[in-house]
Chains A and B, each alone.
Chain A
Amino acid sequence: MRLARMLKKTYYWLLVAIFLVMLVSTGLQVIFRYFLGYPLGWTEELSKIMFIWAAFLTVGALTMEDQLMKIEVLVERLPAGLANILNIVVKFCSGVFLLWLAVLGVRLLDLTKYQVSTALQIPYWLIYLSLPLGMIIAGGVMFAQSFAAIKTKR
C-alpha cells in the first residue's frame, strides 16, 4: 500500500513538472521574442511535446480518482445492485478498449521510429510513447477498479 501511495505521489509530481516545463517554455517564448527581439526556435515544440505527455498521462490520474466526465443521472436512479453490476461491466469494457488503444499506440511507435521533430530532433516515438503509457495506466486502473467492485459485491 505504501509503495502504491509513493508511486501515485511520484506520478503526480511528474505531471506538475511537465506542466511547469510547458509554462516556462511558453513564457520564455514571449520574453525572447517580444522583449529581447530574439525568437527561440525550440520553445513551441518543447511546450507541445510536454503538452501531449501531460494530456495522455492525466487520463491515467483521472481514472485513478474516477474523475473522467460521465453522465450519472440515470445510473444514480437505478437500484444499488444493478448500478454496481453496470459499474463492473462499464469499467471492464473501458479497460479493454483503453488497452486496445495502448496496443495500437505501441504499433504507432514502430511506425514513427525513424521520424524526428524539426527543431529539437526528438524522435517521434519518444513523443508518442505517452499515448500507450497513459492508456496502459488508465486501462490497468479500470480493470483493478472493476475487480475491486466484484470483490466488494461478494
Chain B
Amino acid sequence: MSYFLLLIVLLLIGMPISISLLVVGLLYMFLTGQVDLIVAAQRIATGLDSASLLAIPFFLLAGNLMNMTGITNKIFNLASILVGHIRGGLGHVNVVGSMIFAGMSGSAVADAAGLGAIEMKAMVDEGFDLDFSAAITAASSTIAPIIPPSISGTIYALAAGVSIGGVFLAGVLPGILMGITMMVMVYFISKKRDYPVRPRGTMRQFFKALIEALPALMAPLLMLGGILAGVFTATEAGVVGSLYALILGFVNKELKLRDLPGVLLDTLKTAGDTLFIIGVTALIGWILTLEQVPMRMSQWIATIAPTPGLFLLLLNLILLLLGCFMASSPVIVMCTPIVLPVALMMGIDPIHLGIIIVLNLMIGLITPPVGVCLYAVSAVAKMPVMRVAKAVIPFYVPLLICLLITTYWPDFVLFLPRLFGLA
C-alpha cells in the first residue's frame, strides 16, 4: 500500500510515468532485499523481448503514413455523398469520415488533427458554429481506436495475452454503434439550431467518390483480412499497412522519400515511451505476483463488488477517472495485469474486457484536464481547450450510452470474434 501511495505522489509531482514505476519497483526490491536486484534489469529487458510487441510501432507508422497519403480529402467527399443530405449535413459527414478513417488508422489524435482540420474548415464555411464543429470533430475522433486497426487494442491484447485479431474484430460493432449514436445527437442538435443540409448527390457522383476513396476502404480489409485469413501476423499486418500507405502516398505524389526519416523518427518517439513503460511494467507485474496482489485484489473486489455487473460498473468509474488524468496506453499497460485475473474469475471474457477498457480510455481522450484529442482539436481550431471541452459535453451522452451497451451486452461485442472463432 505504501508503495502504491509513493507511486501516486511521484506521478502527481510530475515524474515521468515510466520512471515513477521504475522508482517504485527498484525501491521495493532494494528494501525487501529478497532477491538480487539484477532481476529488475532482467525483467525489464526480457519484458520487451517479444516479437508481437513490434506491432505497436508498426501500426503507429501505418497510421502516420496513411495521414500523409492525401486520401483524407477523398474520404471526406465519400462521406459527404453518403450522409451529407441528412439534417445536420456536415456534422454527419464528420462522423462517417472518422469511421472510414478509423479503418486506416488506429490513432484518435491522427484523426482529430488530420481529417479534423478539413472537416472543421468545411463546417465553419457552411455556417456551422465553430464550437459545434470542434466538438463533433473531437468526439468522432474517439472512434478511430475502436474500429480496427487499433493501437490501444493492440497494447491491450499484448498485455492480456489474447489474440490481437480478436480484439480488433470485437471493436467493429461498438465502433459502428458509436458512430450511429453520435449521428443521432448531431441530428437533434442540428434540428434545434437549424444547421444546413447538403444537396443529395447523384448515383454518378456516388460512384465517382467511391472509386476515389477505394484505396482508403481497402486498407482495413487488407490488414484485418490478412490477419484473419492467416496470411500474416498482426505485427506483419502493421508493416503491410505501412507499405500500402507508402505506395499510395508515392502514387498520389503526396509523400516524398525525404519525408520518410522524419515519419520514422516521430513514430518511434510516440511508441518509445509506451514500450519503456511496458518493459518496466514487466518488473512491476512480477512484484505484484510475488506479493499476490491480483489474488488479494480479487478477494477485496469480491467483497465490495460481488457480482460481475457491479465489478464492471466500478471498473468503468475508475477507468473514466484515470482517463481524465492520464494518457491511454500507460493506463492499459498498468491496469490490465491487475484487472484481468479478477475479470476472468468473474467469468468476463478477456476480449470483452479489452473493449470496455479501451472505450473508457477513449472517452478520456476528450475529457479535461488531460485529453489529447481536445488539445489536438483546440490547436487546429485555434480555440481554448476548455471551450472545446465545454462544447463536447453533449457528446458524452452517446458515448456513455455506447459504453453501457458495450459493458453489459457481451454478446454484441463478441459476435464477430465468435463468428471467426476468436472468442
Given contacts A30-B232, A48-B51, A52-B49, contact A71 B12 (CB under 8 A): yes
Report chain B residues within 8 Å CB of A111.
38, 42
Contact B327 A58 (CB under 8 A): no
Asked whether A144 is an interface residue with its Cβ less than 8 Å from the other chain, the reply is no
Q: Which of B26, B37, B235, B369 contacts A26 (CB under 8 A)?
A: B235
Report chain B residues within 8 Å CB of A93.
15, 23
Report chain A residues within 8 Å CB of B240.
30
- Tell me, rounded to whole Å, the shortest Cβ–Cβ distance linking A72 to chain B: 6
Contact B19 A73 (CB under 8 A): no
Asked whether A131 is an interface residue with its Cβ less than 8 Å from the other chain, the reply is yes
Report chain B residues within 8 Å CB of A71.
11-12, 14, 17, 325-326, 370
Asked whether A121 is an interface residue with its Cβ less than 8 Å from the other chain, the reply is no
Contact with A along B303-325 (1 / 0, CB 8 A): 00000000000000000000001
Complex-state Cα separation, A69 to B327, whole angstroms: 8
Stretch from B52-60, B102-110, B211-219 forming part of the interface with A: B52-60
Asked whether A149 is an interface residue with its Cβ less than 8 Å from the other chain, the reply is no
Interface size on B, residues (CB 8 A): 55
Stretch from B116-124, B249-257, B259-267, B344-352 forming part of the interface with A: B259-267
Asked whether B18 is an interface residue with its Cβ less than 8 Å from the other chain, the reply is yes
Given contacts A16-B264, A23-B242, A34-B231, contact A94 B273 (CB under 8 A): no
Contact with B along A25-68 (1 / 0, CB 8 A): 01101100010000000001001100110111011011001011
Contact B272 A61 (CB under 8 A): yes
Contact with B along A87-120 (1 / 0, CB 8 A): 1011001100110110011011001000000000
Q: Which of A13, A19, A75 contacts B267 (CB under 8 A)?
A: A19
Asked whether B40 is an interface residue with its Cβ less than 8 Å from the other chain, the reply is yes
Interface size on A, residues (CB 8 A): 52
Report chain B residues within 8 Å CB of A13.
261
Report chain A residues within 8 Å CB of B45.
52, 105, 108, 128, 131
Complex-state Cα separation, A86 to B235, whole angstroms: 41
Contact B38 A104 (CB under 8 A): yes
Asked whether B202 is an interface residue with its Cβ less than 8 Å from the other chain, the reply is no
Contact A48 B40 (CB under 8 A): no
Complex-state Cα separation, A72 to B372, whole angstroms: 13
Contact A105 B41 (CB under 8 A): yes
Residue of B nearest to A104 (CB): B41
Complex-state Cα separation, A136 to B57, whole angstroms: 23
Given A15-B264, A87-B14, 13 more A-B residue pairs with CB atoms under 8 Å apart are A12-B265, A13-B261, A19-B268, A26-B58, A54-B268, A58-B268, A61-B269, A62-B269, A89-B13, A93-B15, A111-B42, A128-B45, A131-B44
A residues with CB within 8 A of B? 12-13, 15-16, 19-20, 22-23, 26-27, 29-30, 34, 44, 47-48, 51-52, 54-56, 58-59, 61-62, 65, 67-75, 86-87, 89-90, 93-94, 97-98, 100-101, 104-105, 107-108, 111, 128, 131
Query: 5 closest pairs, A vs B, by CB?
Result: A58-B272, A68-B16, A104-B41, A75-B14, A55-B275
